[in-house]
Each structure stands twice: as structure tokens, then as C-alpha cells.
Structure 1
Amino acid sequence: MPQKSEELAYRLRQQEILAGFGLFALQAMDLDVLLQEASRISANGLGSELSKVLEFRPEQDKLFVRAGIGWRPGVVGQALVGADLGSAAGYAFRTGESVLSSHLGAAAAEGEDRFRASQIMVEHGVRRAINVPIRGREWPFGVLEVDSPQESKFTQADVAFMEGAANILGVAIERIRIEAAVQESEASFRTLANSIPQLAWMADASGSIYWYNQRLFDYTGATFEEIKGWGWRSLHHPDHVERVVERIRRSFESGEPWEDTFPILGKDGSYRWFLSRALPIRDADGKILRWFGTNTDITEQREAEERQHLITQEVSHRVKNSLALVASLLGLQSRSTASAEAKQALEDAYARVQTIAQIHDRLWRQYDAQSVDLCSFLNDLCRKLQETALEHRLDFHGQSVMVSTDRAISLGLLLNEIVTNAFKYAYPEGGGGTVLVRLSDGSGQLRLEIADKGIGLPAGFDLSKQRQSLGSRLIVNTARQLQAQVEAGANQPTGARFVVTMPIKPV
């Protein structure tokens, strides 16, 4: 046993060894190098010739000699030892308690009878050992062990030194594993990001881009140094770059997802259109760590849509001209006929064709011909109807609701028929009057109400039985086509009121 001064120097040296190992473990990136260094400093710290790091292998339920100092060839990297409670190493691993063993391999009367000595230890004449568990925060790795063929005993202070080394080792192993998992995940992500057809990029929390996938470099011909950070602005068309920068800065500041469409310069000197999106990636507390964005080439899609739009406009123009020609022929015919009844019928037909032409023109001017905001559409139609009867006042109010184009056309015809009838018959004494149109939706039902303040409906009026009137038949047939209900009755205090209700179908 060393004297007090020697003992103090011995313990100070152990502390220096632990301090040095702590710095080494903090910087180590290779697990095998780290484990071998742990073996070396453990043997050095206890003045022993033998040490080893045992890693638990659950598939074999054994402890594997992963690293070591002083063992014969064929032990380190190959040998397995017992992980059961009958071995000192297995006991330390299973219980999480350090084990100090003395007189290993001696006669039964004076030897260590708690644990068996492995064949490897017998071969190397091991007489004493310290086994301490190596633990991470959530998992046990294995055991750090120092062995010696000398008879003198290890002390509890030596155990404390070994526990300090094992604790440092456990933290370092966990860090290396986490960093390796992150690197593997990052490598997998980069492989995936380079395989997608989109241009892709990542930016830090402030919006400064620090990574692009290979496809972006292939398309633009630019280098990372040229477009890192905010250098990507040089790839944008001067007519769009200020708008793009303003909108993406707003997203970076607010944390809201970003979406925009703009042209990006290719290495051939031409611009192509891209639909671009970026999403924030947040930590568990909601703090933005980085942004991930993509740019999807939509040039062909835009060109196809533009071609379709031009074709639609051309078809619409021709249909409008054809309807205008039919209306003109009806107008000429009404002016040349002598029969008042025939004249009225032709004028009504002329008005209906004109309405259809106006409806068609209004709908097909939209870029999206599949659906329409019914409120805006009916409001425009009411303004057109107002222009044909300036002596009357047509008052429209409504809620925005999207419907299919076909249903909008039918509702427009229905509205036209009821309103024009009100203009004709509600105020027979002249001077005009008010017609109110209200559009609302609720509980999946659309409600269109048309009311006037005129003389009201004839006594006993029943819309479904007005077979003599073309207008009434048109209203009933159109309502049936829409699966709508039309109620006709008195308005309060005077006048007539028509209420059309129908289910709102998703578009």
C-alpha cells in the first residue's frame, strides 16, 4: 500500500487521467477509438496490465470484448463472456452495481467464492478485478473492467475512479450514437431530396439558405457560393423578384407556410415557371429550427392552361355571336309581325335569348369554368336586368356561395324569368317599383328569394297549374332540373314573393 504522500499523488494522477479522458471523450467521433482509450486510461489509472470494455449482445445474451489492453490475440474483438449473475461482469451489468473482486483463482478457502473466473481470466492469471457498469440515460451499454494478476487489493477509491471513467464513457457513447443517427438520417434525407423531381432547399430560422439539392444546381448551373444565403435572388426574373422577396420575408417573420409562383432562370438563359412552397420545421417547444422548401416546374401546365383558356374564350366568343344572331332574328321577326300575341311571344323569346347570351358571356370569362361564386354572378345578372328596366329598382343582397357552372346557369334563368315577370306585371299602373332579390345559405340549403311590392299574384294562383304560361312552365321545369322547391305566395304588406330552396352540392 503506498504511503500517504504516495497515495495522494496516486489519487491526483487518477484525477488528471479522468480530466484528460473527459476532454478526449467530448471530442471523440469514433466509438471503437473511444472504447480503446477508455481501456487504456483505466489500466493506466490503476497501474494494471489488463483492462477491457465489454459490450452486451442481447441476441447472444453475452458480453462481447469490444476493446481491451494486455490480452492475448483472439480475445479483443472476438471473445464472449458470461452476462449472468454468476460472473462479476454479468452481475455488474445486470444489477447496475460496481463489483470489486480479490483472490480470484486462489484456493477455495481463501479465494473469491461469489463469482466464477472466466477461462480468459484463468489463462492470464487474473487475481483481482473491478467491474463497473457503463450506462446511458435510457440503456445499459456494458461493463468497464480492470484486471490484475497481482495479489494486492484494489480499493474503494479505485472503484470510484473506474465509476468516473465509466460515467464519462456512457455519456460519450450516447452522444456518438445520437450524432451517428442524425448523420444517417441527414444522409438519407439528402439522398431522398436529390431523388425527387423538384428543386429543393433548406434555410435557417432567419431564412438564409444553407443547402440545395443537386437538381437545383443542374437546372440553374449556379454554384452554392453564388446562391447561398439570399444569393438566390439573382436567379429570379427582375419583374418578379421584389414581390417574391417581400412575400417570403413575411413568411419567415410570421412563421406561416409560404407559397408563390414565379419564373426561375435556367442555365440555358431561359426562364421556367415554378410553384414554390416552404414549411417551417419546429422543435418540441414550437421554435422554428429551419425551413424546407421545394420548387416544382409547372411551365407545361401553365402553357396548357393558357391554351385551354384561349380555346374557351374563342368558343365563348363564337357562341355569344351565334346567340346574338338568334336574338337579332327574333327581334326582326317581332317587329314585322302584325299579331299582338305573336309579337309578345317573340319579344319574350328575344329577352330570354339575350339573357342566355349574357349569362354565357359572364361565366366563360372566368379562368375557372367549373364553378362560380353564385352571389357575384347573380349580382352581375341583376345589374344587367336593371339596365333593361330603368323605371324599376332592382335591389340585390347575398352571401358568397360556390356552385357548379351548370347550376348557376339554371338559377340565372330562373331569376331572370321571375324578375322580368315582376317588371311586366307587378306595377301595371306605370311608374315602376321595387323588386328585392336575396340570396342566403344555411344548413346545407341555398335560398333565393324574389319579392315585389306590387299588386300581388292573381287569386288562386298555383304555379304548378299555370300550363298556359310559357314563363311558369320554364320556372317549374328549371326548378325540377335543379331539384329545387319553388314557393309562390303573397308578400307583406303587398306584392308577390317567390322562394327557391335547393341543396348545396359540393363543387
Structure 2
Amino acid sequence: MRHLQAVAEFGQYALWETDLDALLHEACSQVAKGLGVPYAKVLEYRPAGDNFLIRAGVGWGPGVVGSVRAPADRGHPPGLAMLTRQPVVTEDVTADPRFTPTALFREYGVVALANVPIVTEAGVFGVLEVVTPRRQSFSGAEVSFLRGFANLIAAVLHRKGVERSLQAALQEREILLRELQHRVKNNLYVVTSLLGLQANRIDDDAARQALMEVQGRVHAIGLAYSILQTSQDISRFDLGAYLADLCRTLVAAATCPVRLDLDLRPAPVSLQVGVPLGLIVNEIVSNSLQHAFGPEGGAVSLSVRRVDERIELTVADDGRGMNPAAGARRGSLGRKLIAALAVQIQGTLTRPEVERGVCYHISFPVPND
């Protein structure tokens, strides 16, 4: 019953503890309690020195665990257990001709002991050992209990190895993804510059304006990648911060004084959602800056907030309102693009009535990608 209880308690502890040293210490504690011995330890094999380091243990005085080393040859019980991958048991190590007692054994008056190897897929990690200062014969059931605990420790070590491999893979993936995002951003900014240069070489006003509009759309996409690069999450960024930067860039290029009013609440989104919304806001604000204001200027407002399981985005200006004639060249394409992008993110697009200017409202489900 003590054996079963020790296994159950260690298994429960191993489910939530992540620190390996704490897990090994708990294993030693449960083994010592299950076998009724005062001392237990885990010896980790160190190939560089061809010896063992006492990695964890219970019952030992200060300066033993984490410091004392033990021989790994056949003349010592842990070494023999590791080399044969079989349990090594002796009722009296001082009278056993196979072994030479170590200084630590002499200091603690060790007489009887039992060792079992801790074998993982990568090889022998080390040895689980229990000792007592009295003559004792360890039964087959007790040795089986000790072997079972060694297997539990091996399973914990395997899990820790898998966790380390996964963490390394995730870190490598994050580095590669950030590098890819950086290159995409740089390429988009190159395209933006080329479009600007080409626009400046065209005499036709309509063609030049069309290229500048494309330049603005490419810039909106590139800005999304730039914001994502500075985000702690490699796959999501804050929508409000992104759209605010986009609007500031657009307003800074306005030919009249324009005030930007922001009401932003945290709303993390992915590129798949953020880029379409950036293009939508780019179309709306660009149209306002071109057609809504006179020389006296005006204001553009942007609001982002989460309401239950939806995100509400509102973009408005206090200009002269929609001019149907202005949509013949640009507005009609812009409105079609806005409507198509809203559908892409499963959003609902409305144009609420306002006393002055134009207002767009988009409501879409909180992304769960």
C-alpha cells in the first residue's frame, strides 16, 4: 500500500510541476518513504568526467546534493547498475567484495543499498539509489517498486526532452516567421517607392492619381507587417494601434489642416483580418481627405472597441458629405473595394446618418484564428 500511495502521489505531483530538480527531489522523497529508508538519491551520469553527480536526494546533509560526485566504474554499485542496466542490490556493502565503499558511504555509515538504472530513449540518464545504515535485504517487490520509479523518472525526462524540443522548434519558427515578415515589409516598401517614382513621371492627372491610390493601398499592407514585427505575438497585433498609425500617415500628407480624433480600445487581430481593415480605413480616410474638406480643414475620427463577441469599427469625418459626382472616377471603385473587404472578414458594413460629413461603421466577429 505504501508503494501504491508513493506512485500515486508522485504521479499527481508530476502532472503540474515543471521544474526537473523539484521532480527528482520528489521522486527521492517518495521512494524513501515507500521503502522506509532514510536516504535516497538520483545520480546523473556525466560523460565528460565519467562519473556521477548527485542531482537530487533526501536525508543527506548540506553540500551533498548538487556537489558530490561518485565513481561510475564497476567497483561501485551505481556504476555497475549503469553499465549492466540491471538492479544492483547488496545487504552489506562493507562486506561485499565487488565494491569499494566511497567516502560518502563511510561518512553516513551506509550498509545496505539498492540501485536501479534510469534508462531513457537517449541512453542511461543515471541511477536511482536507496541506502540505509543497517543490514537489510531488499525483496523482489521492493526492487520492482524501485524499478517502477526509475521508469517514472525516465518518462518525466522524456517529457522534458519533448518540451525542450518543441520550445526550440517554436523559437526557430518564430525567428523564421519574423524574418519572413521583415522581408515582406521591406519588399512592400520598395513597391511603394517605385509606385511613387512612377507616379511623378506621369503627366496624365488621372493616371497619376490612380498610381498614388495604389501606392496608398500597398503602404497600408506594409504598415500592417511593420506593426506585427514589433508585436510580442508573431501572429496578432492590436488593430487600434495599426489603424491609428495608418491614419496619422494619411493625415500628415493632407493639403489642409485636419484633426485626428481617436477612441481606441484593445482589439488583437491577425493579418488576415487586420490587412482588409487597413485597406478599408485607407479608402475611407483617403476619400475624406480628398473630397470632404475645404481650405479650412476639419476632423477625422476613428473608433475601435470590442462589444461582447464582436469588434466595432467606426470611421467618420465632419466634412461636406458625400458628393455623388466625385465617385465617378475613384469613389465607385473605393466603395466596391470597401464592401468586398467587409464581406471578406464576415463584417457588416453600414453608413449611419450623421448631421455633418460621412460615417462608416463596420461590425465583425472577434477573430479566433
Taking structure 1 as the reference length, the TM-score comes to 0.44
Partner of 2:120: none
On the 8 A contact 1:210/1:228 being kept in 2, the answer is no
Q: Do the aligned partners of residues 216 and 209 (structure 1) sit closer, same or farther apart at CA in structure 2, a change above 3 Å counting? A: closer
1:188-203 equivalent positions in 2, closer than 5 A: 188-189=7-8, 192=11, 199=20, 201=22
The offset of 1:407, in angstroms, is 0.8
The separation in 2 between residues aligned to 1:223 and 1:447, in whole angstroms, is 56
**Aligned partner of residue 455 in structure 1, secondary structure:** coil
**Aligned partner of residue 55 in structure 2, secondary structure:** coil
The offset of 1:216, in angstroms, is 7.0
On the 8 A contact 1:486/1:499 being kept in 2, the answer is yes
On the 8 A contact 1:457/1:489 being kept in 2, the answer is no
What amino acid is aligned across from residue 349 of structure 1 in structure 2?
A: V
**Aligned partner of residue 506 in structure 1, secondary structure:** coil
From 38, 47, 55, the equivalent of 1:222 is 55
Partner of 1:111: none
From 397, 407, 427, the equivalent of 2:273 is 407
1:483 equivalenced with 2:302 (yes/no)? no
Partner of 1:397: 263
1:453-492 equivalent positions in 2, closer than 5 A: 453-458=318-323, 469-492=332-355
1:260-409 equivalent positions in 2, closer than 5 A: 296=160, 298-389=163-254, 391-409=257-275
On the 8 A contact 2:21/2:55 being kept in 1, the answer is no
From 334, 357, 368, the equivalent of 1:495 is 357
1:186 equivalenced with 2:5 (yes/no)? yes
The separation in 1 between residues aligned to 2:42 and 2:292, in whole angstroms, is 68
On the 8 A contact 1:439/1:447 being kept in 2, the answer is yes
On the 8 A contact 1:453/1:496 being kept in 2, the answer is yes
The offset of 1:345, in angstroms, is 0.9
Q: Report the RMSD for the aligned CA atoms in angstroms.
A: 4.4
On the 8 A contact 1:457/1:490 being kept in 2, the answer is no
1:452-478 CA distance string (max 9 Å, x none): 1111123699x9x99963222211111
Q: Do the aligned partners of residues 344 and 216 (structure 1) sit closer, same or farther apart at CA in structure 2, a change above 3 Å counting? A: farther
Stretches of structure 2 that go unaligned for 5 or more consecutive residues are 32-39, 46-52, 68-124, 127-155
The separation in 2 between residues aligned to 1:371 and 1:418, in whole angstroms, is 24
**Larger gyration radius, structure 1 or structure 2:** 1
The offset of 1:202, in angstroms, is 7.5
**Aligned partner of residue 337 in structure 2, secondary structure:** helix
1:86-120 CA distance string (max 9 Å, x none): xxxxxxxxxxxxxxxxxxxxxxxxxxxxxxxxxxx
The separation in 2 between residues aligned to 1:501 and 1:230, in whole angstroms, is 64
The offset of 1:310, in angstroms, is 2.3
Partner of 2:141: none
On the 8 A contact 1:355/1:413 being kept in 2, the answer is yes
The offset of 1:302, in angstroms, is 3.1
The separation in 2 between residues aligned to 1:230 and 1:499, in whole angstroms, is 69
**Aligned partner of residue 224 in structure 1, secondary structure:** strand
**Aligned partner of residue 234 in structure 2, secondary structure:** coil
The separation in 2 between residues aligned to 1:430 and 1:227, in whole angstroms, is 85
1:418 equivalenced with 2:284 (yes/no)? yes
The offset of 1:488, in angstroms, is 2.2
On the 8 A contact 1:456/1:490 being kept in 2, the answer is no
The separation in 1 between residues aligned to 2:56 and 2:9, in whole angstroms, is 17
What amino acid is aligned across from residue 473 of structure 1 in structure 2?
A: K
1:167-178 equivalent positions in 2, closer than 5 A: none
What amino acid is aligned across from residue 498 of structure 1 in structure 2?
A: Y
Q: Do the aligned partners of residues 195 and 380 (structure 1) sit closer, same or farther apart at CA in structure 2, a change above 3 Å counting? A: same
On the 8 A contact 1:382/1:396 being kept in 2, the answer is no
Q: Do the aligned partners of residues 212 and 320 (structure 1) sit closer, same or farther apart at CA in structure 2, a change above 3 Å counting? A: farther
The offset of 1:233, in angstroms, is 10
The offset of 1:185, in angstroms, is 4.6
The separation in 2 between residues aligned to 1:308 and 1:498, in whole angstroms, is 38
1:442-461 equivalent positions in 2, closer than 5 A: 442-458=307-323
416-425 or 183-192, which moves further after superposition?
Answer: 183-192
Q: Do the aligned partners of residues 191 and 472 (structure 1) sit closer, same or farther apart at CA in structure 2, a change above 3 Å counting? A: closer
The offset of 1:487, in angstroms, is 1.6
Stretches of structure 1 that go unaligned for 5 or more consecutive residues are 1-180, 235-266, 269-292
**Aligned partner of residue 22 in structure 2, secondary structure:** strand
The offset of 1:195, in angstroms, is 8.9
The separation in 2 between residues aligned to 1:454 and 1:486, in whole angstroms, is 20
What amino acid is aligned across from residue 331 of structure 1 in structure 2?
A: G
Compare relative contact order (CA 8 Å, sep 6+) and give the higher one, 1 or 2. 2
The separation in 2 between residues aligned to 1:227 and 1:400, in whole angstroms, is 53
1:83-232 equivalent positions in 2, closer than 5 A: 183-189=2-8, 192=11, 199=20, 201=22, 211=29, 218=44, 221-224=54-57
The separation in 2 between residues aligned to 1:421 and 1:382, in whole angstroms, is 12
1:363-406 CA distance string (max 9 Å, x none): 24435333333334333433444444483222221222333331
On the 8 A contact 2:178/2:234 being kept in 1, the answer is no
On the 8 A contact 2:251/2:289 being kept in 1, the answer is no
The offset of 1:449, in angstroms, is 0.7
Partner of 2:366: 504
Q: Do the aligned partners of residues 425 and 201 (structure 1) sit closer, same or farther apart at CA in structure 2, a change above 3 Å counting? A: same
1:42-53 equivalent positions in 2, closer than 5 A: none
**Aligned partner of residue 396 in structure 1, secondary structure:** strand
On the 8 A contact 1:379/1:396 being kept in 2, the answer is yes
1:323-359 CA distance string (max 9 Å, x none): 1222222112111111111111111111221221111
The separation in 1 between residues aligned to 2:62 and 2:245, in whole angstroms, is 49
Taking structure 2 as the reference length, the TM-score comes to 0.58
Q: Do the aligned partners of residues 469 and 361 (structure 1) sit closer, same or farther apart at CA in structure 2, a change above 3 Å counting? A: same
